[in-house]
Amino acid sequence: MSAPTITPSARARPRRSRWALWAAAAAVLGGVFMLYAQPGFLVMLVDQLWSCF
C-alpha cells in the first residue's frame, strides 16, 4: 500500500482560496476607506443612526 499522492491542483486550491480571502479583505478595507473619505456621507449616516433613538 503506497501513500496517497497530492496532485498539484489539490495543492493549489488552498492557496487560491487564501488569495481570494486576502483580495476580498482588501476590497472591504478599500471600500471603508472610500466611505470615510466622504465626510458628507458619514454625517448623513450618523444622523440616520441618531434618529433611531
Contact between 28 and 35 under an 8 Å Cβ cutoff? The reply is no
Question: For position 6, what pLDDT does the model report?
Answer: 62
Task: Residue 20: name the closest of 12, 8, 31 by CA.
Answer: 12
Tell me what the mean pLDDT of segment 29-46 comes to.
89
pLDDT per residue as tens digits for the range 4-33: 666 666 566 677 889 999 999 999 999 989
User: 3-state SS of the chain?
Assistant: CCCCCCCHHHHHHHHHHHHHHHHHHHHHHHHHHHHHCCHHHHHHHHHHHHHCC
Question: For position 51, what pLDDT does the model report?
Answer: 93
